[in-house]
């Protein structure tokens, strides 16, 4: 009986092997079938049972290599050689098993109820029960064997059989719930429990199956066989294409230059460029090639009438390879439209270079040489509104004309559409988007948002998106895909540095399409074209005003070029309608003529900028500062009138240097309005006031981002850094300065930066910060306020609070001017700041000790005596500060010697008589506390202190440790020279003087 059975099975086995050998390629797979047959023969000779061995197998390879076909042949082959007794053969996928869940998968091997998915997966076709040795043809018909057992239902594998799991890696994929791993554990358990009855075949990509094997260390021992399905060679691909043509057209189709001619070989070489990469479709890819050939033929023939039979059954050179790029350049309407776009010269040059490269490759292919590498996927870099989306649409149509894309539709996505919220979701979402955009142009706007960051602190979700792009986007001929990344060049390049190294090659990162901002002439052309497209007119003055508005808008960070023109026209139309609504109804017409008032309602403000500047700053800062600003305005207006532009001639940033309280902050706050009036800024709403602390970080790597963040706040307006010299202080000061200089050089046309501080310190900052100089900054010098300017400021501040006083009268004003001269001679005098303090004291005193109504009139009045009291109070405070400042002791000697001589004026009898008369009157009427009298003893104590410090300085100079002769300052329990090189202790000074 056994010999009879072997003879009965000999024919099916031979048939299976014959079908296997007909398959293209698969040399290793065919050898494995022979090895299995040999093993079974040896087992028979040795008297062992081959069913006790494990015949489970892993199929690794790209799609289209025949894994499913071979799996069916493998199942039939195992049954033919008595390895498997059951007729059951089941095909499923990892995703389907995950969807079923552990419970339902368990039921496949045990009958325990109905399957809820049975209605979706189909009802099993029950076959009559037959003995394995039945000679019925049906029992030995492999085709019927497969079809009869094609669905999954409970208990279908209870008697064993062959289970084929395609894409098995989905069971252990990171984004899959834990139920996938539980399903795999169930299958592994059944494998162990059904040795000799159940054989499982797992299939998938080699890389993904690594995580599959990593799930359980015992997997490789339980699944001992691995079959590698190699990608087809060029000859195998060509053989497949020829076979498909012969089979589809039943031998009727003819090919120009022959089935194995040059054109067919070139088509296969283009296809083979993707070989070896994940996802290469092999036989399926050949099917797509044939589909494209047929589509080109249909497009060529569908308008013809009375076609001959030989035309219908002939594939020409153009059908097989597509059009010659040289012909496309001449006939493509998309290329012609691109040439007509305003500006974009660099983009047009890049696409022209692309045509040149494609023509070169076409000639090389005709000579059967390898083409030069070329990527359809590109990077579009530039500001908003420069035409990137418009060009992307035309670029896609050009690729359609060239035969590289089948559709050309533009689909725009943002990074948020790709990034998942859990592990594995980013990969899945990215693959889904890529699958949906085959044949189309996929634009990823603001693609730099996918930057994963540095390797040690990277965002794995964003990194997963880029890794998937590298894996799925191959940038090879025949891929039928185009992906374009949009964004700012610097940030995109940073993303490429942080991403998978393969990303740069996929998108030709070294050759981006650069969309530059439109210049004045191009904006003028765009403005006129858009006005014409809307059937609008404008006066010549209106056009000039519109161009000025656009020029000012360049300062903004969000300047949007072409879209800015649209926004400007829309705003002008609205202004025109509002203006016309105030006019009589008879003035309405069907034409809308836009004027300069419509484009810029405040178009005449520059004519009054100079007068406004003096009116606003008069009596707030010195006349010298106002004069310097007026000079700057004149220079700016001259350069604009001569069309020299602002950038090369007139700096747009400033250095305000001078002592504290000289009006630097006051002027800085007004610069916003002044520069807006002069047409330098597009808005007067952006003013950022900050200090050095806002730029210097607290730890390594913190300073540059902090500086960049603060700097960006001022783009399009004024960034005012008070006490900017403090940028030189701190451990990270150099980093802050360097980053600030770099940002300013890059954005010099988009920001007005003002650095303010004392003269010597600011000059030291300029010396240290290379790049901050006269070519970038305009220096405005703020001198110390004179005594007369201080008195004028005090008068204005008191008047603003409704306080009057006779100290500003002709008879006594010189006395208080002299008081200010004394204060101005002290190094700690803070000019306008201290004048404001004086004013605050005086106003508070008047309000606190207000005179009853009817005695001194109805207004607020400051007496001469009270004013004199507050001047003395200010002097004592400033003098005390100076004497306690060890770093300014010698300077204090020089500055207070004149003050000491002037103090005698306070104590003399030379005061104007009117002053004393007013003091006496005030004492009788005010009933206020007498101000303290400065006693002679206080000045004697001051003399003693000065003499003591002088003697110490003389002793330090005599000791001679500092050869340079620097002054000495107090430090710890001794003194250090200002050169910071020498130190003398108190004991050394005392020993020398004794």
Question: Is residue 625 a contact partner of residue 631, using CB atoms and an 8 Å limit?
Answer: no
Q: Which residues neighbour 808 within 8 Å (Cβ) at sequence distance 6 or greater? A: 791, 795, 816
pLDDT digits (tens, 9 = 90+) for 770-786: 766 655 788 999 988 88
pLDDT for 910 beyond 50? no
Q: Are residues 772 and 669 in the same domain?
A: yes
Question: Is residue 577 a contact partner of residue 594, using CB atoms and an 8 Å limit?
Answer: no
Q: Are residues 65 and 86 in the same domain?
A: yes
Tell me phi and psi for residue 708, to 5 degrees.
-65, -40
Q: What SS3 state is found at 135?
A: coil
244, part of any domain: yes
Other Cβ atoms less than 10 A from the Cβ of 627: the count is 11
Q: Are residues 421 and 534 in the same domain?
A: no
How far apart, in whole angstroms, are the C-alpha atoms of residue 837 and residue 225?
Answer: 92
- The residue whose two tokens read 């050689």 is 81
Question: Is residue 353 a contact partner of residue 329, using CB atoms and an 8 Å limit?
Answer: no
Mean pLDDT of the region 221-230: 86
Secondary element (H or E) of residue 725: none
Q: Are residues 530 and 668 in the same domain?
A: no
How far apart, in whole angstroms, are the C-alpha atoms of residue 683 and residue 716?
Answer: 8
Q: Which of 479-493, 844-858, 932-946 has the highest mean pLDDT?
A: 479-493
User: Is the Cα dihedral 422, 424, 428, 431 positive or negative?
Assistant: positive
Q: What SS3 state is found at 930?
A: coil
How far apart, in whole angstroms, are the C-alpha atoms of residue 779 and residue 801?
Answer: 34
Confidence (pLDDT) at 129: 37
CA angle, 509 then 514 then 520, to 5°: 165
End residue of a domain, out of 766, 781, 796 = 781
Instruction: Pick the range with the lowest mean pLDDT from 13-22, 320-329, 648-657, 837-846.
Output: 648-657
Confidence (pLDDT) at 118: 42
Q: With bands split at pLDDT 50, 70 and 90, how would you rate the model's confidence at 70? A: very high
Q: With bands split at pLDDT 50, 70 and 90, how would you rate the model's confidence at 892? A: very low
475, part of any domain: yes
pLDDT digits (tens, 9 = 90+) for 356-414: 999 999 999 999 998 888 788 999 999 889 999 899 999 999 998 988 888 888 999 99
pLDDT digits (tens, 9 = 90+) for 545-562: 898 888 888 877 778 899
CA angle, 216 then 219 then 221, to 5°: 135
334, part of any domain: no
Confidence (pLDDT) at 457: 64
pLDDT for 136 beyond 60? no
Q: Are residues 627 and 736 in the same domain?
A: yes
Q: Which residues of 515-529 are buried (b: 16+ CB within 10 A; e: fewer)?
A: bbbbeeebbbebbee
Give the 3-state secondary structure of 173-207: CCCCCCHHHHHHHHHHHHHHHCCCCEEEEEEECHH
Distances (CA, A) of 246 to 253, 290, 601, 794: 7, 11, 75, 104
Q: Which two tokens stand for residue 693?
A: 């602390």
DSSP states along 933-946:
P--HHHHHHHHHHH
- Give the residue among 416, 487, 490 at the shortest CA–CA distance from 447: 487
Give the orientation angle of helix 864-883 with respect to helix 813-824, to 10 degrees: 10
Strands 752-757 and 653-657: parallel
The percentage of residues in the chain with a pLDDT greater than 70, rounded to a whole number, is 84
367, part of any domain: no
pLDDT for 655 beyond 50? yes
pLDDT digits (tens, 9 = 90+) for 437-488: 988 999 999 999 999 887 656 678 888 899 999 888 877 766 788 999 999 8
Distances (CA, A) of 471 to 236, 303, 430: 25, 41, 11
pTM of the model: 0.66
Confidence (pLDDT) at 527: 93
979, part of any domain: yes
Confidence (pLDDT) at 979: 64
- Domain, as residue range, for 262: 234-321
End residue of a domain, out of 500, 515, 530 = 515
How far apart, in whole angstroms, are the C-alpha atoms of residue 436 and residue 623?
Answer: 70
Q: With bands split at pLDDT 50, 70 and 90, how would you rate the model's confidence at 132? A: very low
Q: Which residues of 399-432 are buried (b: 16+ CB within 10 A; e: fewer)?
A: bbbbbbbbbbebeebebeebbbeeeebbbbbbee
879, part of any domain: no
What are the beta bridge partners of residue 719?
688, 753
Instruction: List strand residue ranges (DSSP E) for 674-741, in order.
Output: 687-691, 718-722
Q: What SS3 state is found at 892?
A: helix
Alpha helices in 437-488 (DSSP H): 460-472
| DSSP code for 114 | -
Q: Are residues 668 and 758 in the same domain?
A: yes
Other Cβ atoms less than 10 A from the Cβ of 916: the count is 13
* CATH number for the domain harbouring residue 738: 3.40.50.300
What value does the mean pLDDT of the chain take? 81
Confidence (pLDDT) at 855: 45
How far apart, in whole angstroms, are the C-alpha atoms of residue 619 and residue 621?
Answer: 6
How far apart, in whole angstroms, are the C-alpha atoms of residue 1 and residue 133?
Answer: 9
Mean pLDDT of the region 146-152: 51
Q: Computed over its alpha carbons, how large is the radius of gyration of the chain?
A: 45
Alpha helices in 678-719 (DSSP H): 703-713
Q: Which residues neighbour 3 within 8 Å (Cβ) at sequence distance 6 or greater? A: none
Confidence (pLDDT) at 798: 92
User: Is the Cα dihedral 343, 346, 352, 358 positive or negative?
Assistant: negative
Q: Are residues 682 and 709 in the same domain?
A: yes
Q: Which two tokens stand for residue 861?
A: 């009045």
528, part of any domain: yes
Question: Is residue 153 a contact partner of residue 123, using CB atoms and an 8 Å limit?
Answer: yes
The CA-based diameter of the chain, rounded to the nearest angstrom, is: 150
Q: Are residues 383 and 286 in the same domain?
A: no
pLDDT digits (tens, 9 = 90+) for 536-547: 999 999 998 898
Confidence (pLDDT) at 131: 39
Confidence (pLDDT) at 219: 79
565, part of any domain: yes
> Which one is predicted more confidently, 926 or 442?
442
- Domains contained in the chain, number: 6
- Give the residue among 187, 1, 194 at the shortest CA–CA distance from 84: 194
End residue of a domain, out of 229, 244, 271 = 229
- Give the residue among 753, 845, 832 at the shortest CA–CA distance from 794: 832
Question: Is residue 609 a contact partner of residue 633, using CB atoms and an 8 Å limit?
Answer: yes
DSSP states along 842-869:
HHHHHHHTPPPTTTS-SSEEE-HHHHHH
How far apart, in whole angstroms, are the C-alpha atoms of residue 495 and residue 444?
Answer: 14
How far apart, in whole angstroms, are the C-alpha atoms of residue 454 and residue 466?
Answer: 14
| DSSP code for 215 | T
Question: Is residue 713 a contact partner of residue 745, using CB atoms and an 8 Å limit?
Answer: no
pLDDT digits (tens, 9 = 90+) for 7-30: 554 578 888 888 888 888 888 888
Question: Is residue 169 a contact partner of residue 211, using CB atoms and an 8 Å limit?
Answer: yes
How far apart, in whole angstroms, are the C-alpha atoms of residue 12 and residue 80?
Answer: 7
Q: How far apart are the first and last CA of the chain?
A: 133
Environment class of residue 643 by beta-carbon count within 10 Å: exposed (0-12), middle (13-18) or buried (19+)?
exposed
Q: Are residues 86 and 182 in the same domain?
A: yes
pLDDT for 436 beyond 60? yes
pLDDT for 320 beyond 70? yes
Q: With bands split at pLDDT 50, 70 and 90, how would you rate the model's confidence at 114? A: very low
How far apart, in whole angstroms, are the C-alpha atoms of residue 367 and residue 251?
Answer: 29
pLDDT digits (tens, 9 = 90+) for 681-717: 888 888 999 998 899 888 888 889 999 999 999 988 9
Q: Are residues 300 and 384 in the same domain?
A: no
Q: Are residues 511 and 524 in the same domain?
A: no
Q: What SS3 state is found at 137?
A: helix
Strands 225-229 and 57-61: parallel
Secondary element (H or E) of residue 90: strand 89-93
Environment class of residue 357 by beta-carbon count within 10 Å: exposed (0-12), middle (13-18) or buried (19+)?
middle
Q: Are residues 558 and 651 in the same domain?
A: no
* CATH number for the domain harbouring residue 527: 1.10.8.60
How far apart, in whole angstroms, are the C-alpha atoms of residue 753 and residue 746?
Answer: 13
The percentage of residues in the chain with a pLDDT greater than 90, rounded to a whole number, is 27
pLDDT digits (tens, 9 = 90+) for 507-528: 988 889 999 999 889 999 999 9
């Amino acid at each position: 009986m056994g010999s009879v059975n072997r003879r009965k099975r000999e024919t099916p086995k031979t048939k299976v092997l014959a079908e296997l050998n007909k398959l293209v390629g698969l040399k290793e797979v065919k050898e494995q079938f022979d090895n299995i047959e040999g093993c079974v023969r040896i087992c028979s000779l040795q008297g062992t049972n081959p069913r006790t061995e494990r015949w489970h197998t892993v199929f690794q390879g790209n799609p289209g290599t025949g894994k499913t076909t071979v799996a069916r042949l493998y199942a039939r082959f195992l049954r033919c050689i008595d390895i498997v007794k059951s007729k059951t053969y089941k095909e499923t996928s990892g995703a389907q098993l995950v969807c079923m869940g552990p419970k339902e998968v368990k039921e496949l091997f045990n009958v325990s109820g109905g399957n809820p998915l049975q209605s979706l997966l189909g009802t099993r076709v029950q076959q009559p029960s037959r003995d394995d040795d039945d000679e019925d043809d049906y029992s030995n018909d492999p085709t019927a064997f497969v079809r009869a057992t094609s669905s999954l239902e409970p208990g279908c594998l209870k008697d064993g059989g062959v289970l084929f799991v395609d894409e098995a890696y989905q069971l252990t994929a990171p984004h899959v719930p834990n139920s996938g791993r539980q399903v795999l554990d169930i299958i592994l358990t059944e494998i162990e429990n059904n040795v000799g009855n159940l054989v499982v075949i797992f299939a998938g990509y080699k890389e993904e199956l690594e995580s599959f094997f990593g799930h359980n260390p015992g997997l490789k021992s339980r699944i001992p066989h691995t079959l590698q399905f190699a990608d087809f060679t060029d000859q195998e691909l060509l053989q497949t294409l020829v076979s498909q043509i012969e089979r589809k057209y039943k031998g009727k189709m003819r090919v120009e230059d022959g089935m194995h001619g040059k054109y067919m070989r070139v088509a296969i070489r283009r296809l083979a460029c993707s070989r070896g990469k994940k996802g290469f479709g092999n036989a399926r890819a050949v099917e797509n090639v044939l589909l494209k050939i047929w589509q080109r033929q249909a497009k060529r023939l569908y308008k013809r009438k009375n076609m001959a039979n030989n035309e219908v059954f002939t594939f020409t050179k153009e059908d097989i390879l597509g059009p010659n790029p040289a012909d496309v350049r001449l006939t493509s309407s998309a290329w012609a439209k691109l040439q007509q776009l305003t500006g974009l010269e660099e983009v047009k040059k890049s696409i022209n270079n692309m045509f040149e490269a494609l023509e070169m490759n076409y000639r090389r292919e005709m000579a059967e040489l390898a083409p030069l590498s070329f990527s359809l996927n590109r990077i579009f870099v530039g500001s908003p509104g420069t035409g990137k989306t418009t060009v992307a649409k035309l670029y896609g149509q050009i690729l359609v004309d060239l035969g590289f894309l089948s559709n050309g539709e533009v689909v725009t996505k943002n990074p948020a559409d790709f990034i998942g919220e859990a592990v594995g979701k980013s990969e899945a979402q990215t693959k889904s988007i890529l699958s949906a955009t085959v044949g189309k142009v996929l634009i990823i706007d603001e693609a730099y948002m996918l930057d994963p960051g540095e390797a040690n602190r990277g965002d794995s979700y964003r990194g997963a998106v880029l890794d998937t792009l590298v894996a799925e986007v191959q940038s090879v001929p025949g891929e039928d895909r185009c992906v374009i990344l949009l964004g700012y060049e610097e940030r995109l390049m940073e993303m490429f540095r942080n991403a998978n190294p393969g990303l740069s090659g996929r998108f030709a990162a070294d050759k981006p399409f650069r969309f530059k901002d439109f210049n004045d002439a191009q904006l003028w052309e765009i403005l006129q074209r858009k006005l014409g497209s809307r059937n609008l007119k404008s006066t010549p003055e209106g056009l000039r005003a519109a161009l000025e508005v656009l020029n000012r808008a360049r300062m903004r960070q969000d300047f949007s070029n072409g879209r800015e023109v649209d926004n400007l026209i829309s705003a002008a139309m609205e202004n025109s309608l509002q203006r016309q609504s105030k006019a009589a109804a008879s003035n309405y017409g069907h034409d809308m003529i836009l004027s300069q008032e419509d484009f810029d309602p405040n178009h005449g403000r520059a004519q009054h900028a100079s007068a406004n500047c003096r009116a606003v700053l008069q009596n707030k800062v010195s006349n010298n500062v106002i004069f310097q600003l007026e000079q700057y305005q004149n220079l700016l207006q001259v350069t604009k009138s001569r069309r020299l532009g602002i950038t090369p001639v007139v700096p747009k940033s400033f250095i305000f240097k001078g002592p504290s309280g000289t009006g630097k902050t006051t002027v800085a706050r007004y610069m916003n309005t002044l520069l807006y009036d002069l047409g330098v800024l597009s808005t007067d709403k952006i003013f950022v006031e900050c200090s050095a602390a806002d730029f210097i970080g607290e730890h390594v790597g913190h300073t540059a981002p902090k500086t960049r963040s603060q700097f960006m706040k001022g783009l399009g307006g004024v960034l005012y850094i008070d006490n900017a010299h403090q940028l030189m202080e701190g451990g990270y000061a150099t980093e802050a300065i360097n980053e600030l200089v770099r940002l300013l050089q890059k954005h010099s046309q988009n920001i007005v930066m003002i650095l303010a501080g004392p003269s010597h310190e600011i000059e030291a900052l300029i010396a240290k910060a290379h790049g901050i100089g006269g070519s970038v900054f305009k220096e405005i010098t703020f001198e110390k306020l004179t005594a007369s300017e201080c008195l004028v400021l005090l008068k204005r501040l008191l008047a603003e609070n409704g306080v009057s006083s006779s100290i500003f009268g002709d008879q006594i004003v010189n006395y208080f001017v002299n008081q200010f001269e004394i204060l101005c001679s002290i190094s700690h005098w803070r000019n306008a700041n201290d004048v404001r303090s004086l004013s605050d004291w005086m106003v508070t005193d008047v309000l606190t000790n207000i005179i009853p109504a009817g005695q001194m009139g109805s207004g607020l009045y400051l007496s001469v005596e009270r004013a004199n009291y507050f001047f003395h109070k200010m002097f004592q405070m400033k003098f005390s500060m100076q004497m306690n400042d060890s770093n300014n002791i010698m300077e204090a000697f020089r500055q207070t010697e004149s003050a000491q001589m002037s103090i005698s004026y306070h104590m003399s009898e030379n005061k104007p008589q009117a002053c004393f008369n007013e003091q006496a009157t005030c004492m009788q009427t005010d009933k206020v506390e007498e101000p303290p009298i400065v006693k002679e003893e206080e000045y004697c104590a001051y003399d003693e202190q000065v003499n003591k410090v002088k003697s110490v300085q003389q002793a330090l100079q005599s000791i001679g440790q500092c050869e340079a002769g620097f002054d000495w300052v107090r430090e710890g329990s001794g003194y250090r020279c200002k050169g910071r090189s020498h130190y003398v202790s108190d004991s050394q000074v005392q020993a020398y003087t004794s």
